[in-house]
Amino acid sequence: MPYSTQQEQPATHTNDQPAGNTTSQTRPTVDQAQHAVDQAQQADHNAKEKLQQAMADQVITTDEQHDLAQAQQSVIAAKQQAQAQIDQLPAQEQSTLQAELETVTNIEIPSTGAHPAGTTPQSLSHTTSQNEDALPDTGEQATSQVTILGSMAALIGSLFLFRKRRKDKDEQ
pLDDT tens per residue across span 6-37: 444 444 344 444 444 444 454 557 888 888 88
pTM over 0.75: no
- Answer yes or no: are the C-beta atoms of 37 and 82 closer than 8 Å: yes
Instruction: State percent of the chain over pLDDT 70.
Output: 66
Contact of 75 with 40, CB cutoff 8 Å: yes
CA pair distance 78, 45, nearest whole angstrom: 12
Structural element, H or E, at residue 134: helix 124-134
Task: Summarize pLDDT for 106-125 with one digit per residue, the tens.
Answer: 788 777 765 545 454 555 55
pLDDT digits (tens, 9 = 90+) for 82-106: 888 888 888 888 888 888 888 888 7
Sequence-distant (≥ 6) Cβ neighbours of residue 22 within 8 angstroms: none
Greater confidence (10 vs 67) lies with 67
DSSP one-letter code for 61: -
Q: Taking Cα atoms as reference points, which of 30, 33, 9 lies closest to residue 21?
A: 9
**What stretch of H or E contains 81?**
helix 62-87
* Domain residue limits, the chain: 26-117
